[in-house]
C-alpha cells in the first residue's frame, strides 16, 4: 500500500532533484537541463512514495518499473536515484565521463535503479509495453510507468506502442507526457504541429488526464485515478514548462542542452532555495 503523501516532503525532494541535476551537469560542463528540470516534479512524486521500490534491491521482482523513454534526461533520474540511496551521491559528479556508471542517456546495465536503457526516442515506450505485459503474464502485481517527451510523440513508434497497449488492455501501464512545449530544435508547432495530444491518446484507447505538471497533489491524485481504471492503459499529460525551476534554463528560449558555469550553477541553486523559503517554488518569472 502506498504511504500517505507528504506534499511538503515531495516539494523538497523535487528541489533536491533539481539542485543535484544542476550540480551533476555542471560537473561535466553541459547537458540536457531543460527537459530534466521539467520532469523533476513527477519523479519526486513517483519516488517520493508512489512507486513500490527498494533501493537496497534494485532488481526486486515485485517492484514497480520506470522507463524514462526520453532517455537524454537521465541526469534528473540519476539525481533522484542517488537521493533515494541507490548509489553514492558522489557518482553524480562523474556524469558522462570516462568509465562512469552514469552515461549521458539512461543505461540499465550501468546504473542501479535504471530499469530500462533508453535514448533512441520512441523506443522506450515500446519497452514499457513489453515490461507491463511481461509482469502481467508472470502475475506480478506491479505498475510500469513511462515518461515520454512531447517532441518524442513525433515518432511513429510511440503510436504503434500505444495501439499495442490498448489492444493488450494493459491497465498496469501508466504513461506520462512531459508536455513542456519544446523539443531539440524549437517549439513543437514550429517543428511538427502536435494537434490535440489528449484527443490523440483518447483515439488510441487510453484513459486520459491532463494536470499541471508541477502540482504534486494533482499528479499524485491522477496516478491514483489511473490505477482505478481497468481494461485500458492510462496517460497523464503533464502541462509544464521546459527548464522550470532552474534560473539559467528559464532565461533561455532554447534550453534543451546548455552549458552550466560555476556562476550559473550557484545562482540557480540559490534561486531554488530562495523560492522555497518564499513559498514560490518551483514557479518563477519567465523572460521568454
Q: What local confidence, expressed as pLDDT, does residue 5 receive?
A: 92
In a domain, 288, yes or no: no
pTM of the model: 0.95
Residue 72: C-alpha distances to residues 120, 171, 226, 263 (Å)? 9, 27, 26, 24
Do the domain assignments include residue 97?
A: yes
Cis preceding-peptide flag for 127 (omega within 30 of 0): no
Three-point CA angle 220, 222, 228, nearest 5°: 110
What is the structure's pLDDT at 96? 95
DSSP state of 3: P
CA 209/CA 148 separation, integer angstroms: 15
For the CA atoms of 139, 124, 148, 168, what is the dihedral angle to 10 degrees? -40
- Average pLDDT by consecutive 10-residue portion of the chain (288 residues)? 82 98 96 95 98 97 97 97 98 96 95 96 96 98 97 96 98 97 89 94 98 96 98 97 91 88 96 93 63
Cell of 64: 514497480
Pairing of strands 173-179, 144-149: parallel
Task: Quote the CA–CA distance of 87 and 282 in Å, as a whole number.
Answer: 26
The confidence score (pLDDT) of residue 282 equals: 86
With respect to residue 283, please indicate whether it lies within any of the assigned structural domains: no
Whether 124 is covered by a domain: the verdict is yes
Secondary structure class of 61 (helix, strand, coil): coil
Let me know if residue 287 belongs to a domain: no
Q: What is the pLDDT of residue 283?
A: 74
- Indicate whether 286 belongs to any domain: no
Contact of 243 with 255, CB cutoff 8 Å: yes
| pLDDT at position 284 | 56
The enclosing H or E element of 219 equals helix 216-228
* 282/260 Cα distance (integer angstroms): 19
- DSSP label at residue 14: H
Look up the CATH number of the domain holding residue 132. 3.40.50.970
Any domain includes 244: yes
CB atoms within 10 A of CB 253: 12
pLDDT of residue 256: 87
Chain centre distance of CA 176: 8
Show the domain range for 73: 7-278
Number of domains in the chain: 1
Q: Is residue 250 part of a domain?
A: yes
Q: Tell me if 80 sits within 8 A of 47, measured CB to CB.
A: yes
Amino acid at each position: 500500500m502506498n504511504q500517505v503523501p507528504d506534499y511538503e516532503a515531495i516539494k523538497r525532494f523535487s528541489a533536491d532533484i533539481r539542485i543535484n541535476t544542476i550540480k551533476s551537469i555542471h560537473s561535466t560542463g553541459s547537458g540536457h537541463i531543460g527537459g530534466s528540470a521539467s520532469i523533476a516534479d513527477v519523479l519526486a512524486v513517483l519516488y517520493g512514495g508512489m512507486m513500490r521500490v527498494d533501493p537496497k534491491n534494485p532488481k526486486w521482482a515485485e517492484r514497480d518499473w520506470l522507463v524514462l523513454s526520453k532517455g537524454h534526461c537521465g541526469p534528473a533520474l540519476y539525481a533522484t536515484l542517488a537521493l533515494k540511496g541507490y548509489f553514492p551521491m558522489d557518482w553524480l559528479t562523474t556524469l558522462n565521463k570516462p568509465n562512469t556508471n552514469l552515461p549521458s542517456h539512461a543505461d540499465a546495465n550501468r546504473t542501479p535503479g535504471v530499469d530500462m536503457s533508453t535514448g533512441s526516442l520512441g523506443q522506450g515506450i515500446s519497452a514499457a509495453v513489453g515490461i507491463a505485459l511481461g509482469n502481467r503474464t508472470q502475475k506480478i502485481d506491479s505498475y510500469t510507468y513511462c515518461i515520454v517527451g512531447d517532441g518524442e510523440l513525433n515518432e511513429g513508434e510511440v503510436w504503434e506502442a500505444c495501439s499495442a497497449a490498448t489492444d493488450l488492455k494493459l491497465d498496469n501501464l501508466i504513461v506520462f507526457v512531459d508536455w513542456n512545449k519544446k523539443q531539440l530544435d524549437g517549439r513543437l508547432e514550429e517543428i511538427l504541429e502536435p494537434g490535440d495530444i489528449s484527443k490523440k491518446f483518447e483515439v488510441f484507447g487510453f484513459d486520459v488526464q491532463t494536470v499541471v505538471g508541477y502540482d504534486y497533489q494533482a499528479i499524485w491524485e491522477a496516478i491514483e485515478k489511473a490505477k482505478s481504471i481497468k481494461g485500458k492503459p492510462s496517460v497523464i499529460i503533464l502541462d509544464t514548462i521546459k527548464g522550470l525551476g532552474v534560473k539559467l534554463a528559464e532565461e533561455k528560449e532554447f534550453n534543451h542542452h546548455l552549458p552550466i558555469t560555476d556562476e550559473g550553477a550557484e545562482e540557480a541553486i540559490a534561486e531554488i532555495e530562495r523560492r522555497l523559503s518564499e513559498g514560490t517554488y518551483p514557479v518563477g518569472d519567465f523572460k521568454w
